[in-house]
């Protein structure tokens, strides 16, 4: 009975998240279409100035622009095309957005993935050692290190990684780890201060046993939420790292699109990145909920 109820609750939670993602995408798409439509310079097309085109072709181009005047019609057409896998054509690069994404997404995924793994490894190692050692000088040192990295702009870390020939993934890790460390240190400190864990320590249980049997079940769901947030941080960090390290990924594409005011490309990228971060956050939330349900 309880299992069934939990199952129903879980299904409802997953449905809720799925609906939220769909609503965000639709609303985000409408916002993007509105912004593209209202951005200065939308009505003019460089192609109209091409001396090789005859007056009929120029007229046809003008007509095509006029057809996009209505925001809702413009949005509806964009949605229709997106449903068929056509995300439009980049104005600055003259290539289909889907092709550009297919070419560049693997590199970004690899960078972000490795960066996240490294940042979590460093942050957890520091947070756990601080919790185990309980030496205030060590705690102050790790906090100072993470605090210093937190005070350096992500783009400067990317520039320094170029200067010292550090791989891009490591630069992403250095950008993400301070935030992960801060959250996880606080969560672990709170968990280790709980009476049953203090008592387990006093009874001489090994640190590993305390960690996996007592601390992880308490702090695990919240750490998962931090994992969801860290995906968003890492994706954001990909922009300066790829742009300044000369890595041809989605982050560099977004930066180039921003500099060239290539709005169709930029808004498509933004909506896609939103979907990725929402999926990461929703997955973290659902898994955390499942862990809590199991615990109950």
Partner 1 sequence: MNPWRTNFWRNLACAVLLLVVGLSLAANWLAPAGYARQFREATDAAPSRVHWLGTDEIGRDRFARVLYGTRISLLLAPAAALLSTLMAALVGGLAGYLGGVWARAAMAMTDLFLSLPWLFLLITVRALLPLNVSPLFSVLVTFLMLGLLGWTSAARVLCSSAGSLRESDFVRQARASGVRGARLFWIHVLPNLKAVLLAQFWISIPVFILSEANLGILGLGVAEPMPSWGSLLRELEGLISVGEAPWKFVPLILLVVVVTSFQLMLSKQEQAA
Kindly state whether residue 16 participates in binding partner 1, applying the rule CB under 8 A: no
What minimum distance in Å lies between the beta carbon of 117 and partner 1? 19
State the nearest-atom distance from the C-beta of 210 to partner 1, in Å.
25
- How many residues belong to the chain? 296
CA–CA gap between residue 126 and residue 148 (Å, rounded): 15
Identify the CA nearest to 175 among candidates 233, 255, 124.
233
Tokens, residue 136: 């205030």
**Residue 168 and residue 241 in contact, taking contact as beta carbons nearer than 8 Å:** yes
Cβ nearer to partner 1, comparing 136 with 294: 136
Give the per-residue contact string, 123-152, with partner 1 (x = CB under 8 A; - = no): ------------------------xx-xxx
Instruction: Single out the segment in contact with partner 1 by CB under 8 A; choices: 77-85, 154-162, 192-200, 214-222.
Output: 154-162
Burial pattern 235-270, b for ≥16 Cβ within 10 A else e, equals bbbbbbbbbbbebebbbbbbbbbeeeebbbbbbbbb
Angstrom distance (rounded) from CA 285 to CA 226: 10
User: For partner 1, which residue of 6, 14, 30, 35 counts as binding (CB under 8 A)?
Assistant: 35
List, in sequence order, the alpha helices (H) in 151-262. Answer: 154-163, 168-192, 195-202, 207-209, 216-245, 250-259
- Stretch of residues binding partner 1 (CB under 8 A), selected from 10-18, 27-35, 54-62, 103-111: 27-35
Q: How far is the CB of 154 from partner 1 (least distance, A)?
A: 6
Interface residues with partner 1 (CB under 8 A) are 20, 23-24, 27-28, 35, 39-40, 147-148, 150-156, 159-160, 163, 232-233, 235-237, 239-240, 243-244, 254-255, 257-259, 261-263, 266-267, 269-270, 273-274, 277-278, 281
């Amino acid at each position: 009975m309880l299992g069934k109820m939990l199952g129903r609750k879980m299904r409802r939670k997953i449905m809720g998240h799925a609906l939220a993602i769909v609503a965000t995408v639709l609303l985000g798409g409408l916002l993007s279409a509105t912004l593209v439509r209202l951005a200065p310079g939308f009505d003019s097309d460089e192609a109209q100035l091409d001396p090789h085109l005859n007056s009929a072709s120029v007229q046809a181009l003008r007509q095509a622009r006029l057809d996009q005047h209505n925001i809702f019609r413009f949005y509806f057409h964009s949605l229709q095309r997106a449903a068929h896998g056509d995300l439009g054509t980049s104005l600055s690069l003259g290539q289909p957005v889907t092709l550009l994404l297919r070419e560049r997404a693997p590199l970004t995924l690899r960078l972000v993935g490795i960066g996240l793994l490294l940042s979590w490894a460093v942050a957890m190692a520091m947070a756990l050692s601080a919790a185990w050692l309980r030496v205030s000088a060590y705690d102050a040192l790790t906090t100072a290190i993470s605090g210093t990295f937190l005070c350096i702009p992500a783009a400067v870390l990317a520039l320094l990684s170029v200067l010292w020939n550090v791989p891009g993934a490591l630069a992403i890790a250095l950008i993400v780890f301070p935030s992960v460390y801060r959250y996880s240190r606080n969560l672990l400190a709170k968990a280790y201060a709980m009476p049953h864990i203090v008592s387990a320590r006093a009874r001489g249980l090994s640190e590993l046993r305390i960690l996996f049997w007592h601390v992880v079940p308490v702090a695990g769901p919240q750490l998962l939420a931090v994992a969801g947030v860290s995906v968003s941080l890492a994706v954001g960090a990909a922009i300066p790292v790829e742009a300044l390290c000369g890595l041809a990924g989605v982050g560099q594409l977004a930066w180039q699109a921003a500099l060239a005011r290539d709005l169709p490309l930029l808004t498509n990228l933004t909506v896609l990145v939103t979907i990725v971060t929402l999926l990461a956050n929703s997955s973290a939330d659902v898994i955390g909920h499942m862990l809590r349900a199991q615990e109950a």
